[in-house]
Amino acid sequence: MTPVARGPEINGEIFALLILIAADFSPLLILTIMKNTDQLNRARMQSTLVALLGLGLVVAAMAAGEVRSQTIGKPPLSAAKRDAVRQAVSAVGLISVRNATDASTPRPKGSAVFISRDGLVATNYHVISYESPQAKIDKIFDELFISLTNDNALSVNLSKRFRLQTVQVNKYQDLALLRVVGDNGEPIASATFPALEIGDSRAVKLLDDIFIIGFPEKGGSTITINTGVVEGKDNLDNWIKTDARMIHGNSGGAAVNADGKLIGIPTKVMYDTRKTEKEDQQIGAVGYLRPADLLVEMMKKIKVSPANTIASIPPQNPPPVKNPDKRKLTPKAVPNQSTIIVRGVVKSALDGKPVAGVRVGLVAAGSASVTSDSLLAWGGTNADGKFALNNPVALGRYTVKVKAIGYEVFTRDIEVTQGASSLTIELRPLR
């Protein structure tokens, strides 16, 4: 037999290492090394290679986990902050409703939160209302009740209900203030309720921790807490966005920060879906909260004393304008520093008809865009095209910016003076 020429023998373990090194360069190089070895060394090399590859996968997984923990991980809440969030649970209740024509007992409808110790409650308007088929309008249920959790702060005591009376509603922003009353319709003077301190929702930042507390429909009569972060803010439309899970029944409950302070009311969820052959598949969702500072404005209108709340109501003056060119963006100084609410009406320039659902923002004069720093007051039009901005502003010169679906963006400088008539804004339809 003709002897077969062999190259120098190489230890299988070393050969396996060569293979791993070669893998970073070229598959052709791996094949070349495999071809130029004998059967025995090839078998030893293969077994060692498998072991080394397995070890590499373990190390890679550990390294990946470490990287993930360093990049997206965050320190856990302290024991004190966890206690603060737990204590907030006691101020959230389950809303039950009933009409005079209903034969059944009150049925659960949503959540609500106490914002004063004497029984002032906040919730969503859609929680306490229904659409009347006959009148074709939404109406508030004849009877409204709230039930609080037991001492263990887990399940609600449905046998003990407190009657509620509507104090103020804001249909446009889907908010309502209610008050606990006796069967005679009068406030219960001797009653004291757990209540949440209202935090400054304007100071909320992206990626702040957030906790949604309420009674979701699928959660039965027990309280549920979902955690998430602040995903975004829409100052013009008055929304705080979050990735915290929100489902039916959470509406009207509490969204609190890591200090257990109320920063928003869970209001709605927008789902992102993808069509398939059989059904629409949900691939994501964004939760929307109404900022707590809107509740403060409603409390001012009914002259609720801050002494009745857990803490004083946060100041609601607009934030200072952060712009180096103070001469250009600061309103003109005037001797009388009184303030005024800017009001007006928006019409179509084509036919003069009122335009509903318009976004109106007031920014410092000369601002090219609307930002959280430049936006001083904002609002929206009703069915009659009328609006009243949310914050009073000092007398001076400003820029008003208006946006509406189907119309061109409107921008105009205005002079806010004492006794000035309301604004009339005409929008041009898009061509």
51 and 136 in a single domain? The answer is no
Banded model confidence at residue 26, pLDDT cuts 50, 70, 90 = very low
Banded model confidence at residue 168, pLDDT cuts 50, 70, 90 = very high
Round to whole Å and give the CA distance between 380 and 236. Answer: 9
Round to whole Å and give the CA distance between 268 and 290. Answer: 9
DSSP conformation class of 201: G
Mean pLDDT of 389-403: 87
Banded model confidence at residue 314, pLDDT cuts 50, 70, 90 = very low
- Give the lowest-confidence range in 17-21, 209-213, 331-335: 331-335
- Would you say 250 and 266 are in contact if contact means Cβ atoms under 8 Å apart? yes
237 and 250 in a single domain? The answer is yes
Round to whole Å and give the CA distance between 422 and 407. Answer: 21
The total domain count for the chain is: 3
Round to whole Å and give the CA distance between 196 and 293. Answer: 14
Structural domain includes residue 283? yes
- Give the lowest-confidence range in 25-34, 194-203, 219-228: 25-34
- Would you say 175 and 298 are in contact if contact means Cβ atoms under 8 Å apart? yes
Instruction: Please tell me the predicted confidence (pLDDT) of residue 21.
Output: 45
109 and 252 in a single domain? The answer is yes
Q: Regarding predicted confidence, which is higher, 80 or 57?
A: 80
Banded model confidence at residue 308, pLDDT cuts 50, 70, 90 = very low
Instruction: Please tell me the predicted confidence (pLDDT) of residue 216.
Output: 82
Whether 31 shows a pLDDT value over 80: the answer reads: no
Strand order in the sheet with 343-348: 386-388, 343-348, 423-427
Q: Coil, strand or helix: which one is 334?
A: coil
For residue 334, what is the domain's CATH number? Answer: 2.60.40.10
392 and 359 in a single domain? The answer is yes
Structural domain includes residue 95? yes
88 and 193 in a single domain? The answer is yes
165 and 230 in a single domain? The answer is yes
Residue recorded with tokens 């209302």: 129
Contacts with 352 (C-beta within 8 Å, 6 or more apart), sequence order: none
Structural domain includes residue 1? no
Whether 56 shows a pLDDT value over 80: the answer reads: no
Report CA-CA distances (Å) from 208 to 9, 205, 289. Answer: 63, 6, 14
Round to whole Å and give the CA distance between 404 and 360. Answer: 9
Round to whole Å and give the CA distance between 203 and 264. Answer: 12
Whether 140 shows a pLDDT value over 80: the answer reads: yes
Instruction: Please tell me the predicted confidence (pLDDT) of residue 372.
Output: 64
Banded model confidence at residue 68, pLDDT cuts 50, 70, 90 = very low
Last residue of a domain, one of 23, 46, 71: 71
Last residue of a domain, one of 71, 93, 111: 71
pLDDT in tens, 353-388: 998 888 888 888 888 777 766 788 888 888 888 998
Whether 115 shows a pLDDT value over 90: the answer reads: yes
Instruction: Please tell me the predicted confidence (pLDDT) of residue 39.
Output: 57
Structural domain includes residue 249? yes
Instruction: Please tell me the predicted confidence (pLDDT) of residue 120.
Output: 94
Structural domain includes residue 7? no
Round to whole Å and give the CA distance between 47 and 106. Answer: 71
201 and 278 in a single domain? The answer is yes
345 and 270 in a single domain? The answer is no
Structural domain includes residue 4? no
Q: Coil, strand or helix: which one is 233?
A: strand
Question: Residue 342's domain spans which residues?
Answer: 326-427
Structural domain includes residue 342? yes
234 and 347 in a single domain? The answer is no
Instruction: Please tell me the predicted confidence (pLDDT) of residue 153.
Output: 60
221 and 341 in a single domain? The answer is no
Looking at the DSSP bridge assignments, the partners of residue 414 are 398
Banded model confidence at residue 323, pLDDT cuts 50, 70, 90 = very low
Instruction: Please tell me the predicted confidence (pLDDT) of residue 223.
Output: 86
Q: Regarding predicted confidence, which is higher, 206 or 55?
A: 206
- Give the lowest-confidence range in 58-67, 130-139, 332-341, 346-355: 58-67
pLDDT in tens, 72-112: 455 677 888 888 898 899 999 999 999 988 888 888 899 99
Q: What is the pTM of this model?
A: 0.59
Whether 19 shows a pLDDT value over 60: the answer reads: no
Q: Which residues of 382-404 are buried (b: 16+ CB within 10 A; e: fewer)?
A: beebebebbbbbbbbebbbbbbb
333 and 312 in a single domain? The answer is no
Angle at the Cα of 39 from the Cα atoms of 37 and 40, rounded to 5 degrees: 100
Instruction: Please tell me the predicted confidence (pLDDT) of residue 218.
Output: 62
Banded model confidence at residue 61, pLDDT cuts 50, 70, 90 = very low
For residue 198, what is the domain's CATH number? Answer: 2.40.10.120
Complete DSSP assignment for 259-321: TS-EEEEEEEEEEEEEE-SSSEEEEEEEEEEEETHHHHHHHHHTT--GGGSSSPPPP-PPPPP
Round to whole Å and give the CA distance between 225 and 87. Answer: 12
Structural domain includes residue 130? yes
Last residue of a domain, one of 51, 71, 91: 71
Mean pLDDT of 416-423: 80
65 and 79 in a single domain? The answer is no
Banded model confidence at residue 319, pLDDT cuts 50, 70, 90 = very low
